[in-house]
Amino acid sequence: MCKTNTTLGQANQDAWWKMAGNGNENADGDFSFSAAAARDALPRITTEKGAKSADVCHDDTAPRVNFQTIDELHSLQKKRSAPTTPLKEGGGVVMGTSGPTTPSSGETMLQSVSASLASLTRETGPKLIRGDPTSAAKVAHVPHTPTSVPAADVSDSGLKFTHILHNLSPAELYEQAIKYEKGSFVTSTGALATLSGAKTGRSPKDKRVVKDETTASELWWGKGSPNIEMDEQTFLVNRERAVDYLNSLDKVFVNDQYLNWDPENRIKVRIVSARAYHSLFMHNMCIRPTPEELENFGTPDFTIYNAGKFPCNRYTHYMTSSTSVDINLGRREMVILGTQYAGEMKKGLFGVMHYLMPKRKILSLHSGCNMGKEGDVALFFGLSGTGKTTLSTDHNRYLIGDDEHCWSDAGVSNIEGGCYAKCIDLSREKEPDIWNAIKFGTVLENVVFDEHTREVDYNDKSVTENTRAAYPIEYIPNSKIPCIGPHPKNVILLACDAFGVLPPISKLDLAQTMYHFISGYTALVAGTEEGVKEPRATFSACFGAAFIMLHPTKYAAMLAEKMQAQGATGWLVNTGWSGGSYGAGSRIKLAYTRKIIDAIHSGSLLNATYHKTEIFGLEIPNEVEGVPSEILEPMNAWEDKEAYKDTLLKLAGLFRNNFETFTSHKIGDDGKLTEEILAAGPNF
Ligand SMILES: Nc1ncnc2c1ncn2[C@@H]1O[C@H](COP(=O)(O)OP(=O)(O)OP(=O)(O)O)[C@@H](O)[C@H]1O
Ligand SMILES: O=C([O-])CC(=O)C(=O)O
Ligand SMILES: [Ca+2]
Ligand SMILES: [Mn+2]
């Protein structure tokens, strides 16, 4: 039987209607076929008398079409999108098979990328083609002119072409990931599930920073510092390794994007990577340029070479594993070898901001940030897993950002264009906004899902406990775009205290805020291994020692000055255990923590009555609306009061030991604040 479409001629339409209506019954004698005929052979169709070209099924010949071949038909499917995908016709630079002709911006982009990918020893960039290699069959017939002419020592790598997938859209990146990257799937809500490979978290021990004349004196080196040195020469060895690896591929992804929503302090970054997963992750996490901005992007301020699929060479000086994450502030470059965990790129750039921004008297912060309807801004500091993303994503407030911010003389600005939420045990009820953000465009790392329905099981830790979702910030319905705000009113320090001795909420004076900011305490549970019950205390200066570049007291001094100038209030919120340490007590309910945060935002806590705790000298409110009063004073919640006191003393000792490295450092111009900060620690 012939197929029909909706553009049948009237005569055929009638015939179709009749056939559809009565199957093989003879309706009015115009056409008929018997059930037997239908079984044995195709029925003969007789069209109405008088209809033109009888005996021909017209369904396939309906209105004239603009294509002669299947390829031409396919070419019609894709509407051209201007002006981000320019194509220069004839000679010159060759790009993909789709895209309009715009003068030379595509050429400029390819020249710029070619310069980025140039080998430093051969001094030539690769021959670049825009677009997917699979659509290159056609391109191969076009005479190529490389963007830079190879020097005398032509190598095989200098003869091949590398395809550049420049700022692809999420849909294009999905297709690339699903076609070429094992472990990429669309989940039931449309997110792209990916695997990050052997590494499912950052590798801080493999981070190296180039120590040259400038950085030797500017950066924080030595005990407690995250900056493990490497020399310029070794950096170049790793850079060349990464560049050669990337040039050996058929295609590389290039993202040109921005950091920092403050237009005066915006940084242009280029990310060159081998995986669609990395490109989509950075598309979501950095600020996305408009088509016009992309066209005029120019030379990046900072470039990442992500060759994470390829290991570093352990015979190379300073290399202690097959992973190396190398930052060269002088060259404004970062090289990644031996880890595909995408968070390295995000946090590597954060480190760079911790160097560049303080030079401009801008404070960079590992914090979440949101704003109330009245314009009151709150910062949420805390180490990984303490609640920055969870608590800054608040249905009643505007989200400015969840993880990285700048505080300048003008106010706050988000560094990023997206959020990176932990998803372990994620539930729609407790975190609806994050739940709903996991949709088309979102990268879901290392989650486990049903092989048929593709429904994600957020409780499953089979791959890792550090499952993550990276989504553009506008996926949160009440995000504040552009992501900037006025000066903060509240500075909330989050600690997930698995010892269970810090109060769920306490008010801090400025010296205490500085003391806890420099300490950067949290105590997550050691792990999920059986038998491990002891919480492990972590102290990470400025709640982000892994990312800071200068001595912690430099950031602390800036924070003190800004908080003082703006009259901001400091708070310490324990999002961890209550009623006993991990194992005996339980984690403070997220609903209670949210009530506490509400009371900070509303200003009601500022006017509450307080009592001071022993040892840590923290001011605890006697009441918080919606929170059982028994849990506000930690000792009340512990059954075994002696155990409570022992644990409290133990934690106080850990704080004191940790702070010893900072006792000889002055903060601010006068010695007064420094003395006050030293006195703001535990007293016992
Ligand atoms: N009382 C609580 N307060 C905050 N978070 C809680 C609480 N109880 C449980 N949680 C859980 O703790 C986790 C906090 O993780 P979150 O992603 O907010 O950390 P983060 O500070 O943003 O870390 P990172 O810097 O690694 O992104 C979430 O999974 C959240 O559901
Ligand atoms: O960087 C990461 O991988 C996740 C993160 O936000 C943090 O650890 O602070
Ligand atoms: Ca987070
Ligand atoms: Mn973080």
Q: Which two tokens stand for residue 663?
A: 């006792």
Give dist(CA 163, CA 308) in Å, integer. Answer: 19
Instruction: Based on the fold, state whether residues 493 and 472 are members of the same structural domain.
Output: no
Instruction: Tell me the pLDDT band of 416, cut-offs 50, 70 and 90.
Output: very high
User: Which of the residue ranges 91-100, 272-281, 543-552 would you say has the lowest mean pLDDT?
Assistant: 91-100
Which tops the pLDDT comparison, 586 or 144?
586
Does residue 52 surpass a pLDDT of 70?
no
Per-residue confidence (pLDDT) for residue 18, from 0 to 100: 40
User: What's the whole-number mean pLDDT along residues 599-627?
Assistant: 97
Is the CB of 384 within 6 Å of ligand 1? Answer: yes
Mutation pick for ligand 2 pocket among 199, 403, 471, 540 (CB with most ligand atoms within 8 Å)? 403
Task: Kindly give the distance from the C-alpha atom of residue 422 to the centroid of ligand 2, in angstroms, as a whole number.
Answer: 9
pLDDT tens for residues 186-227? 999 999 999 999 999 999 999 999 999 999 999 999 888 999
19 to 1, 43, 606: CA distances (angstroms): 10, 12, 78
Q: Which atom of ligand 1 sits closest to the CA of residue 588? A: 1
Instruction: Based on the fold, state whether residues 425 and 330 are members of the same structural domain.
Output: yes
Which tops the pLDDT comparison, 455 or 61?
455
Instruction: Tell me the pLDDT band of 46, cut-offs 50, 70 and 90.
Output: low
pLDDT tens for residues 81-99? 754 443 333 333 443 333 4
Task: Kindly give the distance from the C-alpha atom of residue 151 to the centroid of ligand 2, in angstroms, as a whole number.
Answer: 43
Instruction: Judge contact between 297 and 287, C-beta under 8 A.
Output: no
User: Domain for residue 616, yes or no?
Assistant: yes
Instruction: Based on the fold, state whether residues 136 and 217 are members of the same structural domain.
Output: no
CA 441 to chain centroid, in Å, comes to: 12
User: Domain for residue 24, yes or no?
Assistant: yes
| Longest CA span, the chain | 107
Does residue 146 surpass a pLDDT of 50?
no
Single out the residue of 481, 86, 148, 98 nearest to residue 296, CA to CA.
86
Per-residue confidence (pLDDT) for residue 153, from 0 to 100: 57
Is the CB of 577 within 6 Å of ligand 1? Answer: no
pLDDT tens for residues 443-477? 999 999 999 999 999 999 999 999 999 999 999 99
Does residue 535 surpass a pLDDT of 60?
yes
Instruction: Based on the fold, state whether residues 292 and 320 are members of the same structural domain.
Output: yes
Is the CB of 207 within 6 Å of ligand 2? Answer: no
Is the CB of 389 within 6 Å of ligand 1? Answer: yes
Give dist(CA 654, CA 520) in Å, integer. Answer: 12
Instruction: Based on the fold, state whether residues 470 and 556 are members of the same structural domain.
Output: no
Instruction: Based on the fold, state whether residues 162 and 109 are members of the same structural domain.
Output: yes
Task: Kindly give the distance from the C-alpha atom of residue 42 to the centroid of ligand 4, in angstroms, as a whole number.
Answer: 67
Instruction: Based on the fold, state whether residues 311 and 223 are members of the same structural domain.
Output: yes
Give me the active site residues, please: 202, 347, 366, 384, 388-389, 403, 468
Which tops the pLDDT comparison, 47 or 546?
546
User: Domain for residue 334, yes or no?
Assistant: yes
Per-residue confidence (pLDDT) for residue 11, from 0 to 100: 45
Give dist(CA 650, CA 43) in Å, integer. Answer: 90
Give dist(CA 258, CA 358) in Å, integer. Answer: 18
Give dist(CA 22, CA 411) in Å, integer. Answer: 73
Task: Kindly give the distance from the C-alpha atom of residue 483 to the centroid of ligand 2, in angstroms, as a whole number.
Answer: 20
Q: Which two tokens stand for residue 587?
A: 């984690």
Is the CB of 403 within 6 Å of ligand 2? Answer: yes
Task: Kindly give the distance from the C-alpha atom of residue 561 to the centroid of ligand 1, in angstroms, as a whole number.
Answer: 29
User: Domain for residue 178, yes or no?
Assistant: no
By alpha-carbon position, which residue is closest to atom 26 of ligand 1?
384
Q: Is the full-model pTM beyond 0.80?
A: yes
User: Domain for residue 636, yes or no?
Assistant: yes
Mutation pick for ligand 2 pocket among 206, 207, 347 (CB with most ligand atoms within 8 Å)? 347
Instruction: Judge contact between 554 and 358, C-beta under 8 A.
Output: yes
Neighbours of 419 (CB within 10 A): 30
Instruction: Judge contact between 447 and 467, C-beta under 8 A.
Output: yes
Mutation pick for ligand 1 pocket among 285, 383, 386 (CB with most ligand atoms within 8 Å)? 386
By alpha-carbon position, which residue is closest to atom 25 of ligand 1?
384
Instruction: Based on the fold, state whether residues 431 and 579 are members of the same structural domain.
Output: no
Per-residue confidence (pLDDT) for residue 127, from 0 to 100: 85
Per-residue confidence (pLDDT) for residue 273, from 0 to 100: 98
User: Domain for residue 377, yes or no?
Assistant: no
Task: Kindly give the distance from the C-alpha atom of residue 677 to the centroid of ligand 1, in angstroms, as a whole number.
Answer: 28
Instruction: Tell me the pLDDT band of 595, cut-offs 50, 70 and 90.
Output: very high
Is the CB of 385 within 6 Å of ligand 1? Answer: yes
Q: Whole domain around residue 25: which residue ranges? A: 10-61
Per-residue confidence (pLDDT) for residue 194, from 0 to 100: 98
Task: Kindly give the distance from the C-alpha atom of residue 581 to the centroid of ligand 1, in angstroms, as a whole number.
Answer: 18
Instruction: Based on the fold, state whether residues 539 and 453 are members of the same structural domain.
Output: no
> What crossing angle do the helices spanning 510-519 and 641-659 adopt, rounded to 10°?
80
Percent of the chain with pLDDT over 90: 72
Q: Which atom of ligand 2 sits closest to the CA of residue 403? A: 6
Is the CB of 384 within 6 Å of ligand 2? Answer: yes
Which tops the pLDDT comparison, 88 or 59?
59
Per-residue confidence (pLDDT) for residue 325, from 0 to 100: 98
Per-residue confidence (pLDDT) for residue 644, from 0 to 100: 97
Say whether 96 sits in a helix, a strand or coil.
coil
Is the CB of 196 within 6 Å of ligand 1? Answer: no
Is the CB of 262 within 6 Å of ligand 1? Answer: no
Query: How many domains is the chain partitioned into structurally?
Result: 4
By alpha-carbon position, which residue is closest to atom 5 of ligand 2?
384
User: What's the whole-number mean pLDDT along residues 122-127?
Assistant: 77
Give dist(CA 508, CA 570) in Å, integer. Answer: 5
Instruction: Judge contact between 556 and 514, C-beta under 8 A.
Output: yes
User: Domain for residue 30, yes or no?
Assistant: yes
The answer, yes or no, to whether ipTM is higher than 0.95 is yes
Instruction: Based on the fold, state whether residues 236 and 316 are members of the same structural domain.
Output: yes
Q: Which atom of ligand 2 sits closest to the CA of residue 420? A: 6
Instruction: Based on the fold, state whether residues 455 and 497 are members of the same structural domain.
Output: no
pLDDT tens for residues 557-590? 999 999 999 999 999 999 999 999 998 999 999 9
pLDDT tens for residues 356-373? 999 999 999 999 999 999
Any bridge partners for residue 568, and if so which? none
User: Domain for residue 385, yes or no?
Assistant: no
Is the CB of 420 within 6 Å of ligand 2? Answer: yes
